[in-house]
Amino acid sequence: MAVTRTFSIIKPDATRRNLTGAVTKMLEEAGLRVVASKRIQMTRKQAEGFYAVHKERPFFGELVDFMISGPVVVQVLEGEDAVKRNRDVMGATNPADADEGTIRKTYAESIEANSVHGSDSDENAKIEIDFFFNEDEIVG
Ligand code: CMP
């Protein structure tokens, strides 16, 4: 299995509850390595750009408001089959549907305040990593 990269966000509901370390520990225990990480306050423009694919969805406005409601931690994760590995440990988008032992089952408050984001494909991982990081900020 190839070592690949994925993109992760620890969302405002998790940073607010001081869960950055707890969430990162679950990512690391799932076999992912944090090769870049920064805590940022997203601007509205950044959040709208990042989630542009969802702009026609009814929840778009609330999603953007939530993502700028507090700091987030953006990360690049590396590991074997990183996109799938990360999605497995995150659990389903809606914590009510997430499996036991996943980040969202353990920590998420709701479908919106669901603690983490993770890329859904290798192609989107590259786009999302490039959105927040320069290559020289990623150190494997
Ligand atoms: P994320 O993986 O960050 O990608 C889009 C986000 O939209 C998703 O996680 C959810 O947190 C959020 N969201 C809010 N409401 C909904 C909804 N009704 N259906 C799907 N996603 C939603």
Residue 92 near ligand 1, beta carbon < 6 Å: no
Nearest ligand 1 atom to alpha carbon 11? 3
Q: pTM of the predicted model, to two decimals?
A: 0.97
Tell me, using a 6 A CB cutoff, whether residue 114 lines ligand 1.
yes
Q: Which domains does the chain have, with CATH numbers?
A: 3-137 (3.30.70.141)
How far, in whole angstroms, is CA 126 from its chain's centroid? 14
CB 23, CB 29: distance < 8 Å: no
pLDDT, tens digit, for every residue of 75-128? 999 999 999 999 999 999 999 999 999 999 999 999 999 999 999 999 999 999
pLDDT digits (tens, 9 = 90+) for 15-68: 999 999 999 999 999 999 999 999 999 999 999 999 999 999 999 999 999 999
Q: What pLDDT does residue 44 have?
A: 98
Strand duo 33-40 + 116-118: pairing? unpaired
Q: Cα(136) to centroid of ligand 1, in Å?
A: 30
Binding-site residues sit at 11, 59, 87, 93, 104, 114
φ, ψ at 101 (rounded to 5°): 90, -5
Nearest CA to ligand 1 atom 12: 112
